[in-house]
Amino acid sequence: MHIVIMGCGRVGASLARALEHRGHSVAVIDIVQDAFRRLGPEFQGKTVKGVGFDRLVLQRAGIERADGFAAVSSGDNSNILAARVVRETFEVHNVVARIYDQGRAEVYERLGIPSVATVRWAADQVLRRLLPSGSEPQWRDPSGSVRLIEVHVNSGWVGTTISGMETAARTRIPFVMRFGTGIVPTQSTVFQDGDLLYAAVTNEQVAEVEDILGSQPVEH
């Protein structure tokens, strides 16, 4: 695969090295020539000095044969503009933009431009380490209405099938962590002591799901 990266800061340089290490062809764009020093002497990819949303600059970086584009400069406007040019002009659909403004990130996600909201991600990571499990989502969709949460499960559920727990809590349990390994449960998968369970819920379901699975199962 050929990947074009706009922005050779710490994120862009790390991304470029990681992609090249995996055997991909990489071109990096930045308006500052000295920024390419972050790539290190082993970097074999292409470096292009210029503005990342300039069509000629993108063409020099090989955008016309690119399989993906990452806009990770320090400017939200530049990242979004470049992402749109690449998608709409060069028809590269595998595009990701880094966005600091959470509101903007959600808007562009709805427009079909995947984004990484840096501030929101960092805040969520800190909150997950400060607050009890389940208080903050492991993942949430751009609109903020659906989330994936780690649920504290009462020991009384040990021996119950995951499908039975889904029925009781009226939610989906897409995966379980068991001895540090993620597993996708089947109809016959049984909840074991020590399992970490993750539920996909809407905001309105969070309290109900945590209450049901955090309590002894009700016998019928």
Pair 104, 142 in one domain: no
Mean pLDDT of 53-82: 93
What global pTM score does this model have? 0.60
The answer to whether 99 touches 117, Cβ cutoff 8 Å, is: yes
Whether 164 maps to a domain, the answer reads yes
What CATH number did the domain enclosing 206 receive? 3.30.70.1450
Torsion of CA 7, 8, 14, 16, to 10 degrees: 80
Higher pLDDT among residues 50 and 180, named by residue: 50
Closest by CA to 154, choosing from 119, 127, 191, is 191
Whether residues 113 and 141 fall in one domain: no
Based on the fold, state whether residues 91 and 142 are members of the same structural domain: no
Task: For residues 152 and 93, state if they share a domain.
Answer: no
Q: What is the pLDDT of residue 180?
A: 80
Whether 86 and 187 map to the same domain: the answer is no
For residues 142 and 201, membership in a common domain is answered with yes
Distance CA 186, CA 88 (A): 41
Q: What is the pLDDT of residue 137?
A: 63
SS3 string, the chain, reads CEEEEECCCHHHHHHHHHHHHCCCEEEEEECCHHHHHHHCCCCCCEEEECCCCCHHHHHHCCHHHCCEEEECCCCHHHHHHHHHHHHHCCCCCCEEEEECCHHHHHHHHHCCCCEEEHHHHHHHHHHHHHCCCCCCCCEECCCCCEEEEEECCCHHHCCCEHHHHHHHHCCEEEEEEECCEEECCCCCCECCCCCEEEEEEEHHHHHHHHHHHCCCCCCC
Segment 22-42, tens digit of pLDDT: 899 999 999 999 999 999 999
Same domain for 86 and 154?
no
Of 83, 98, 122, the last residue of a domain is 122
Q: Considering its fold, how many domains does the chain have in total? A: 2
Inform me whether the pLDDT recorded for 134 exceeds 60. no
For residue 87, the enclosing domain spans 2-122
Same domain, 54 and 156: no
